[in-house]
Amino acid sequence: MVDEFRFSGVPALHFGPGVFKNAVSVVMKYGRSLLLVAGSSSFTGSGRGRGFVKELKEKGLKIDIVNVEGEPHAGFIDGVISELRVSPPGMVLAVGGGSVLDAGKALAAMLTVEGRTWDYLEGNPEMKAHPGTRLPLIAVPTTAGTGSEATRNAVLTTPGEPRLKRSLRHDNFVPDLAIVDPLLTTGCPPHVTAASGLDAITQLLEALVSTGASPVTDALAKSGLQCGIENLERAVSEGNDINARTGMAYAAFLSGIVLSNAGLGAVHGFASVLGGYYDIPHGVVCGTLLGAVTRVNIGKLAASEEDTAYLDKYAAAGMIVCSEKGRDRDHYLARLADELDRMVEVLNIPRLGCYGVTAGDITSIAAETAIKNNPASLTTGDLEKILLSRL
């Protein structure tokens, strides 16, 4: 039986090695003036980026460029908007990693409304509902990780202290088009490839076992997980292997779709809190905690004997992740977390202690962690135990 579910928000997609070469003609269908949002040094400083901008200008497009350094802050978005109010662009093209795509999404949304970004940001007790208006938006990822090119939210840092990461969210914020060209990710260094790839794999696994999952997200999550597991280690060790890069680009795109439609679990609950207090890459938090959260979730689900459907899904994930094939369900349930830990070890993902997290911080981090769509009910004590195991 298939229960009631909703599924929405998939961008049009141009996918494959080399598809970016068609970007100029594609962009021209969306408008005659463009805000190009890019990273601080990568795309606009590259030969490919300079050639792209030159070609657009030769075709008569008006181009403003904004470079995003690090993770976008709500105040940064407001600053750019105030400069563009007099002569706003007709569309936004974001080319970069997850932070750049999120900044582009936020700029496209905020250029159509009055007020500050904070007014519409989740976590503001006086938050106003955004009407969902935005400029046409094209997302071009240059890393394979967050899946922001397929999501309906932009993650921004809040004003004031502590710095928190909160979303500007609306169903309409899914980009009109994602141009996913794995050739653009070949320059991504190994440690970034590893962390962002583990973000995608975490999103796929957490969405698969999410309480908000549907048959559609299950199918996409399994497909993405298979591809991510098959290709991540090679994408890290052989950065120019275009097949591995293509597999990771596919996994990341699907991870964005499933996270938007199914929700995520305790790993991302931790990541939201840890990312606000420590200077720690999101993908590192995901990777370092994924095995520990999986182990505790499977243990709690097995002990509760309430709903075996989540255990069936973990076993299916184990079949994808573990190298031994043809074993029984219990084998995969027993091996999955260890195999995830092995992968994280091979990829040299640091533990939380490397970023200044101490045993004294654990209680407050666990107390703030939300686990809305996690398949198992975890106590604060469970959350503390998970964090302690990865210090």
CA–CA dist 314, 334 (Å, integer): 10
In the list 149, 199, 339, 382, the residue contacting Fe ion (rule: CB under 5 A) is: 199
**How far apart are CB 271 and Fe ion at their closest, in Å?**
6
- Binding span for Fe ion by CB under 5 A among 148-156, 194-202, 231-239, 332-340: 194-202
Q: Which residues does residue 39 pair with via DSSP β-bridges, in sequence order?
A: 68
> Taking CB positions, which residue lies at the least distance from Fe ion?
199
Strands 137-141 and 91-96: parallel
Backbone torsion region of residue 4, taken as left when φ is above 0, otherwise alpha when ψ lies between -120 and 50, otherwise beta: beta
149 touches Fe ion by CB under 5 A: no
Nearer to Fe ion, 30 or 355 (CB): 355
Residue 87 phi, psi (nearest 5): -140, 75
- Binding span for Fe ion by CB under 5 A among 21-29, 177-185, 193-201, 243-251: 193-201
339 touches Fe ion by CB under 5 A: no
CA–CA dist 274, 282 (Å, integer): 9
Nearer to Fe ion, 199 or 218 (CB): 199
102 touches Fe ion by CB under 5 A: no
Nearer to Fe ion, 71 or 199 (CB): 199
- Binding span for Fe ion by CB under 5 A among 171-179, 198-206, 338-346, 370-378: 198-206
Residue 161 phi, psi (nearest 5): -115, 145
**How far apart are CB 259 and Fe ion at their closest, in Å?**
7
- Binding span for Fe ion by CB under 5 A among 195-203, 216-224, 339-347, 359-367: 195-203
Q: Which residues does residue 66 pair with via DSSP β-bridges, in sequence order?
A: 37
206 touches Fe ion by CB under 5 A: no
**How far apart are CB 268 and Fe ion at their closest, in Å?**
6
CA–CA dist 112, 119 (Å, integer): 14
- Binding span for Fe ion by CB under 5 A among 165-173, 191-199, 296-304, 374-382: 191-199
CA–CA dist 334, 167 (Å, integer): 36
Return the closest-CA partner of residue 116 out of 125, 127, 131.
127
272, 199 in Cβ contact below 8 A? no
| Contacts with Fe ion, residue ranges (CB under 5 A) | 199
